[in-house]
Amino acid sequence: MKHSGHHFIAVFGGAVSGAEAAYQLANRGFRVVVFDQNILPYGKIEDGLPKWHSKLRDKEEQRINEKIDLPNVRFVPGVKLGKDIDFEDIARNWGFTAVILATGAWRDRPLPINGIDQYVNRGLYYQNPFVYWFNHNHEPEFAGEKFDIVDGAAVVGGGLASLDVVKILMIESVQKALAERGHRVDMFTLDRSIAKVLDNLNLSLSDLDLEGCTLYYRRRDIDMPLSSIPTDTPEQLEKAQMVRKKILDNYQKKYLFKFEPCHMPVDKIVEGERLEGIVFRKTKIENNKVEPILGSDVEIRAPLFISSIGSIPEPIPGIPTQGQVFKISNAECCQIEGYDNVFAVGNAVTGRGNINESLKHGREITEEVMDNFLQWQEEDYQSWLRTTESTVESNINAIVDTIKRKKFMPDEVIQNILDKTEVLQKKVGYNGSYSDWVDKNLPVRLETMLENESNTGN
């Protein structure tokens, strides 16, 4: 299907891959509407990257700001696809030339034990809401779901996100135990090394009456996906395995948690209405496959279990899925099956949450969509560039004039998109100024609160 001339593109999700898609499109002369389910478009950078990464978070969010705050990008916050607007309606009826899904992976992969989800918040937590709570619980007006930190918790998982969960448990429990003994230590200090903090105070976990948490992983330490080092050759694999082991060792030395490899969850232990334990089956790794060892089951009881085995996209009515990601019919441009104008970028289709991978995927797929689906040729781009040599205000007028003159899109289609998006903007009080919106809605930072407390002597 060939398209020519100017286009209006919808991007759902304004975080790493979505902002990159919007930026690439805007820089090539396309008009873009970025919809985001949250008030700010930062996605997992704000809600899933633990708040001790304060500098990285600020850097990534500033990059997102620069990519969205452009003259031909229209931001629409607080709109959840499948809830506030219907996906099929927007894909087929609003008039967008193309729709790009960068909705991310907000749902936890279910822990593979029959019936265990009925014990959520009764002995079982999942990673995504738990980390969201940790990132925002310091905010004076936080009204979200609250989580209790319990010593001796067990975490099921084995990636970097699992290590984040373990760190949160250890930092929170040690910080509380120290405060009860008159030692006030902030989260950022504990993030650098719990072990050093305790050494400096001549204390140990047992002195604090703490057991610490345990991470259970179905593979070995050398198999943990903790590094992006290539593993194409035996030499590379050996090096990667050494790096993985070293990363885990460093984490354990700094944060004092326990690790149990080759443990696969297979059943639940329930007493009354609570999850009291999980039955783990021991495993061996053969030809890179996890092989359960029959007759090796062990019962692990703990006051709390946290599942951290990965994130998957939330299902959206109208969007087909394959396994736990969106179903695509064209791998080169990640075209969603059943639609000729809908594409997906980032971990909604890759299933991976790495920032650089999401950025790269957003760029590559958007370029593929522009070049081969939208067929926006070099002469179209140069023509658009010639209209953007004056001020920002006249840029917008020049673009609109060019659209009208060339009849790229009917005026009524453009106006329909502008009218409908303006209604959605007004619904949440968005006044059209992206920078003002960010300034008004950026959550209170823990580091700012700590600075203020220090300056006032509290």
From 52-61, 313-322, 393-402, the region with the lowest mean pLDDT: 393-402
Indicate whether 134 pLDDT > 90: yes
Indicate whether 400 pLDDT > 90: no
Rounded Cα gap, residues 428 and 439, in angstroms: 15
- DSSP bridge pairs for 10: 33, 99
Return all residues near 370 (Cβ < 8 A) that are at least 6 apart. 24, 25, 28, 30, 376
pLDDT digits (tens, 9 = 90+) for 136-165: 999 999 999 999 999 999 999 999 999 999
Rounded Cα gap, residues 31 and 290, in angstroms: 48
Which pLDDT score, from 0 to 100, does residue 404 have?
39
Contact at 8 Å (CB) between 20 and 367? no
Which pLDDT score, from 0 to 100, does residue 299 have?
98
Q: Which helix (H) or strand (E) holds 174?
A: helix 160-180
Contact at 8 Å (CB) between 11 and 339? no
DSSP 294-350: TT--EEEE-S-EEEES-EEPPP-TT--EETTEE-EEETTTTEETT-SSEEE-THHHH
Dihedral Cα 98, 104, 109, 110, nearest 10 deg: -70
List, in order of start, the domains of the chain with CATH numbers.
8-106+313-448 (3.40.50.720), 109-311 (3.50.50.60)
Rounded Cα gap, residues 344 and 102, in angstroms: 6
Which pLDDT score, from 0 to 100, does residue 330 have?
81
Rounded Cα gap, residues 280 and 264, in angstroms: 5
Which pLDDT score, from 0 to 100, does residue 405 have?
39
pLDDT digits (tens, 9 = 90+) for 88-126: 999 999 999 999 999 988 899 999 999 999 999 999 999
- 100-130 burial, b if ≥16 CB within 10 A, otherwise e? bbbbbbbebbebebeebeebeeebbbbbbbb
- DSSP bridge pairs for 32: 9, 73
pLDDT digits (tens, 9 = 90+) for 297-349: 999 999 999 999 999 888 899 898 888 778 888 888 888 999 988 998 887 77
Contact at 8 Å (CB) between 113 and 281? no
- Write out the two tokens for 102: 């960068």
Res. 383 pLDDT band, cuts 50 70 90:
low
Return all residues near 295 (Cβ < 8 A) that are at least 6 apart. none
Query: How large is the greatest C-alpha to C-alpha distance in the chain, in angstroms?
Result: 77
Indicate whether 171 pLDDT > 90: yes
Confidence (pTM): 0.89
